[in-house]
Structure 1
């Protein structure tokens, strides 16, 4: 697994080195259960171990609609049951943020690490997601101006649907983590069982089939062309 992480990190580093702009934006997409989050975090760790500038990671999970916002939708029960589907995210806000990130990446000068001269306008903030409260946290992620590579990870970064399809145009390199949906289905069901979300594996599969598996099929059917496809190399991660 570590070998695969290093291979992807080296590919991203090489692409960034020949990129004409100061900063390099990468998206890593994949179906639920593909391991994309673990891959993104491993790549960031490896890139930060071997370069003088920094790599930052941003998850699209912070752009989930809050539980209160789901309550305001026409069918709150369905909205909570399908949380994680594309329509349960604030896609307009997410697209606006990535557009702002693109401008920031191109216009804010690259700084030396841990500088004490950064101003508030030099730092760009995004919401994170608190898995305890199951809600977004405003300004939970800060991307500082010493970041030369920024990796965005999430299910729908290459989704060819209104709104979502704009994201692919605003990054420099697009990675898709390829996973057999049935394999990912099993991972997710087992995770629900281990986490105590469901009491039996059968219940875990039932939960997956009513939401995540549907999302996985949609992602694969509506996939925009990536620049690179990598095989899933880890178990038990989203």
Structure 2
């Protein structure tokens, strides 16, 4: 994956440079989507690291913002009439604050355009607490490349569909369904969510894979496709 990440970092930097040659002070916004287990976090983190290593500025030029921070907290899920289902299906589209994600992306564009140099705050997700942290990420004015990553960022249904018009590039991370299934199951075991792969795969089949089918069927308009294939050694 490293050569692909290096190439995408070069593409991103070229786009950012071109954008700022005509609109100084602009932010480059990228939305990266794909089904659970596709490798979105791995790829976006690697690309941001490459960009920041190349540019060597502080605060860093690039940052990754995950939509995981927009999970509805458990306190909210508890108030739903279908609370039990909400916990089982946590990670489905309706268990996220989609409007909050759209507002943050829109604000990222607006703050850059205003030239006011405003510090922004974005939520993150604490896997130990199993809940979002509202002020988990500070985005400094000097951070000009924002890479948003999450399952539903290219989905063609409201309110997700508004995102594609707010960003400069749309990337899709492609992976085989069975490979994604095994990755997510291993992740559940590693995180202590399930004790063994048998139970982890049952969890994946009851939720994550269903979400993956929906995401794949409803995502549109990718400018870049990242093929995340398990490397054999």
Provide the residue aligned with 2:143 in structure 1: 147
**Alpha-carbon displacement from aligned partner over 1:83-140 (angstroms, at most 9, x marks no partner):** 0111000111221222111101222257xxxxxxxxxxx2011111111101111111
Q: In 2 relative to 1, CA 160–73 (structure 1 residues): closer, same or farther, beyond 3 Å?
A: same
| Residue 199, structure 1, aligned to residue 203, structure 2 | no
Match of 1:74 among 50, 73, 81: 81
**Alpha-carbon displacement from aligned partner over 1:26-67 (angstroms, at most 9, x marks no partner):** 111111001110111110000001125511111111111000
Provide the residue aligned with 2:2 in structure 1: 2
Q: Distance in 2 between matches of 1:200 and 1:60?
A: 27
Match of 1:166 among 147, 159, 162: 162
- 1:233 Cα deviation from its structure 2 partner: 4.4
- 1:195 Cα deviation from its structure 2 partner: 3.2
- 1:232 Cα deviation from its structure 2 partner: 0.8
Superposed, which structure 2 residues align to 1:78-227 within 5 Å?
78-108=85-115, 122-227=118-223
1:4–1:233 contact (8 Å) kept in structure 2: no
Q: Secondary structure at the match of 1:138?
A: strand
1:108–1:145 contact (8 Å) kept in structure 2: no
Q: Distance in 1 between matches of 2:172 and 2:220?
A: 10
Q: In 2 relative to 1, CA 149–2 (structure 1 residues): closer, same or farther, beyond 3 Å?
A: same
Q: Distance in 2 between matches of 1:92 and 1:196?
A: 31
Gaps of 5+ in 2: none
**Alpha-carbon displacement from aligned partner over 1:167-187 (angstroms, at most 9, x marks no partner):** 111000111101112210011
With normalisation by structure 2, the TM-score equals: 0.91
2:27–2:109 contact (8 Å) kept in structure 1: no
Q: Secondary structure at the match of 2:137?
A: strand
1:30–1:156 contact (8 Å) kept in structure 2: yes
With normalisation by structure 1, the TM-score equals: 0.89
Q: Secondary structure at the match of 1:98?
A: helix
1:35–1:234 contact (8 Å) kept in structure 2: no
Q: Secondary structure at the match of 2:62?
A: strand
Provide the residue aligned with 1:29 in structure 2: 33
Q: Distance in 2 between matches of 1:221 and 1:67?
A: 28
2:175–2:229 contact (8 Å) kept in structure 1: no
Q: In 2 relative to 1, CA 74–61 (structure 1 residues): closer, same or farther, beyond 3 Å?
A: same
Q: Distance in 1 between matches of 2:188 and 2:110?
A: 39
2:123–2:137 contact (8 Å) kept in structure 1: yes
RMSD: 1.6
Q: Distance in 1 between matches of 2:67 and 2:189?
A: 25
1:64–1:135 contact (8 Å) kept in structure 2: yes
Q: Distance in 1 between matches of 2:230 and 2:41?
A: 10
Provide the residue aligned with 1:118 in structure 2: none
Q: Distance in 2 between matches of 1:166 and 1:180?
A: 27
